[in-house]
Amino acid sequence: MSSDTLTHILELARWAPSGDNTQPWRFEIVNDKQIRVYGNDTREHILYDYDGHPSHIAHGALLETMRIAASGFALASQWTISSPNDDRNPIYDVRFESNPTMVRDPLFNSIEVRTVQRRPMRTSPLTNHQRKALTDAAGTNFSVELFESLDDRIRIAKLLWHSAKIRLICPEAYPVHKDIIEWRARYSKDRIPEQAVGVDPATARLMEWVMESWERVNFFNRYLMGTVAPRIQLDLLPAICCAAHLLVKPKHKPAELIDWVNLGVTVQRIWLTATREGLHLQPQMTPIIFRWYARAGRHFSKEPGLFDLALKLASNFERLVQSPQNEDFGFFARVGISQQPKSRSIRQDLASLMKA
Ligand SMILES: Cc1cc2nc3c(=O)[nH]c(=O)nc-3n(C[C@H](O)[C@H](O)[C@H](O)COP(=O)(O)O)c2cc1C
């Protein structure tokens, strides 16, 4: 095996998803059998990166993508965490072993095609085959629950509507939203391009103008029902227009970094499986994240009342999916059939992702 092969593997692995396309990783090719991944998280400036866990999930997605990519070069691979006590800057070592009998992973072809779909999808129901593929992809340590009926989708649409309100009126979330959208773009290397956000061009222009300052956002929200148009387009309609919502639950309470990374491994297997099954997927993590804050008793905003809204959201979520308060939720998404999105996040070049 040569370092060229490892470069090919990294070229594929960098297509792994990460929250807001942050790509919280840098790579080093240590030798022709080993890659080191330097992870980071964004908890200090991104409200949604609750204790870094969404970044840890992305790390897991990256490591699983690397494993699947390696199988295409007849390489078996294994990763270990080399810095178990540092979940802010975790280091992962991935070792590769040549294995001529290795069969290419059936998810290999989905690595580059997989992309998030934020627009409404068809409501055609899942086939039994798709249902089984998605639930099997959860493996033994996680479970997948599917919510498919129109009634369930409407109830989830209402949940997302309330979650979006918190998101849009929370001053601490504003800088995140302002930074992550690349306006007037179809592709973005390090953010989300406007056209992949899921709003129509007129709403996009209005959002761009309003999001120039928090004062404008606040004024619009208070007096002009500014959260209504984006919430209809980004939350309500997509939640109804899909085949199913999918909730991933860990069977054991995540306690350490490795548990969150393993959740990410599973999330990527589910997402790539959805792609292979001809489905698209959109994570909808904000209700999960606000529930994490609420159930941990953590006040995430200086705005009075938002914590109580998050508590109410958590109870509604639990009632909807019939789970007790102390049950853990790991990942929430909707799936369905749609055309391949015309706009997507792309990635930083490999050269920029190599450790300096
Ligand atoms: C842990 C995690 C959380 C995410 N949360 C959301 C979300 O709440 N809403 C959303 O639209 N996309 C979400 N995404 C999707 C990312 O924004 C997307 O993967 C990234 O921008 C790269 O785009 P791509 O998946 O099309 O390659 C999430 C992805 C990950 C890995």
Same domain, yes or no: 101 and 153: no
Q: Is the Cβ atom of 330 under 6 angstroms away from ligand 1?
A: no
In a domain, 286, yes or no: yes
Q: List the Cα angle 185/186/188 in 5-degree steps.
A: 70
Q: Is the Cβ atom of 57 under 6 angstroms away from ligand 1?
A: yes
Same domain, yes or no: 58 and 189: no
Other CB atoms within 10 A of residue 66 CB: 25
**Mind spelling out the 3-state secondary structure of the chain?**
CCHHHHHHHHHHHCCCCCHHHCCCEEEEEEECCEEEEEECCCCCCCCCCHHHHHHHHHHHHHHHHHHHHHHCCCEEEEEEECCCCCCCCCEEEEEEEECCCCCCCCCHHHCCCCCECCCCCCCCCCCHHHHHHHHHCCCCCEEEEEECCHHHHHHHHHHHHHHHHHHHHCCCCHHHHHHHEECCCCEECCCEEHHHCCCCHHHHHHHHHHCCCHHHHHHHHHHCCCCHHHHHHHHHHHHHCCCEEEEEEECCCCCCHHHHHHHHHHHHHHHHHHHHCCCEEEECCHHHHHHHHHHCCCCCCCCCCHHHHHHHHHHHHHHHCCCCCCCCCCEEEEEECCCCCCCEECCCCHHHHECC
Tell me the CATH number at 89: 3.40.109.10
Mean pLDDT rounded to a whole number for the chain: 96
Q: Is the Cβ atom of 286 under 6 angstroms away from ligand 1?
A: yes
Tokens read off for 305: 């009342």
Tally of domains within the chain: 2
Poorest-pLDDT segment among 147-151, 221-225, 324-328:
221-225
Ligand 1 atom index nearest CA of 341 = 26
324 — pLDDT class (breaks 50, 70, 90)? very high
Ligand 1 centroid distance, CA of 9 (Å): 22
Ligand 1 centroid distance, CA of 102 (Å): 31
Task: Please give the share of the chain, as a percent, with pLDDT higher than 90.
Answer: 92
Same domain, yes or no: 109 and 174: no
Contacts of 151 (CB under 8 A, 6+ apart): none
Ligand 1 atom index nearest CA of 285 = 8
Same domain, yes or no: 91 and 190: no
Ligand 1 centroid distance, CA of 21 (Å): 7
pLDDT at 226: 72
Does residue 208 carry a pLDDT above 70?
yes
pLDDT at 1: 66
Residue nearest to atom 19 of ligand 1 (CA): 17
Answer whether 300's CB lies under 8 Å from 306's CB.
Answer: yes
In a domain, 355, yes or no: no
In a domain, 287, yes or no: yes
Residue nearest to atom 23 of ligand 1 (CA): 345
Same domain, yes or no: 58 and 9: yes
Ligand 1 centroid distance, CA of 158 (Å): 21
Same domain, yes or no: 172 and 277: yes
In a domain, 213, yes or no: yes
Ligand 1 atom index nearest CA of 18 = 31
Tell me the pLDDT tens digit for each residue of 57-95: 999 999 999 999 999 999 999 999 999 789 999 999 999
Tell me the CATH number at 209: 3.40.109
Same domain, yes or no: 95 and 142: no
pLDDT at 265: 98
Q: Which class for 341: exposed (0-12), middle (13-18), buried (19 or more C-beta within 10 A)? A: middle
Ligand 1 atom index nearest CA of 271 = 25
Same domain, yes or no: 133 and 265: yes
Tell me the pLDDT tens digit for each residue of 271-323: 999 999 999 999 999 999 999 999 999 999 999 899 999 999 999 999 999 99
Answer whether 17's CB lies under 8 Å from 112's CB.
Answer: no
Ligand 1 atom index nearest CA of 267 = 31
Ligand 1 centroid distance, CA of 85 (Å): 27
Q: Is the Cβ atom of 181 under 6 angstroms away from ligand 1?
A: no
Query: What is the distance in angstroms between the CA of the first residue and the CA of the last residue of the chain?
Result: 24
Ligand 1 atom index nearest CA of 115 = 26
Torsion of CA 334, 159, 157, 244, to 10 degrees: 30
In a domain, 351, yes or no: no
Q: Is the Cβ atom of 118 under 6 angstroms away from ligand 1?
A: yes
Ligand 1 centroid distance, CA of 81 (Å): 24
- How many angstroms separate the CA atoms of 168 and 221, rounded? 8
Q: Is the Cβ atom of 285 under 6 angstroms away from ligand 1?
A: yes
From 84, 114, 144, give the residue that closes a domain. 114
pLDDT at 227: 79
Tell me the pLDDT tens digit for each residue of 31-52: 999 999 999 999 999 999 999 9
Ligand 1 atom index nearest CA of 17 = 19
Q: Is the Cβ atom of 277 under 6 angstroms away from ligand 1?
A: no
Residue located via tokens 């792609």:
275
- How many angstroms separate the CA atoms of 160 and 231, rounded? 9
Answer whether 104's CB lies under 8 Å from 75's CB.
Answer: no
- Please compute the mean of the pLDDT values over residues 198-208 and round it to a whole number: 91
Ligand 1 centroid distance, CA of 116 (Å): 7
Tell me the pLDDT tens digit for each residue of 101-131: 999 999 999 999 999 999 999 999 999 999 9
pLDDT at 217: 92
Range of the structural domain that residue 36 is part of:
3-114
Answer whether 259's CB lies under 8 Å from 81's CB.
Answer: no
Residue type, 277: E
Pocket test residue of 42, 62, 271, 285 for ligand 1, highest count of atoms within 8 A of CB: 285
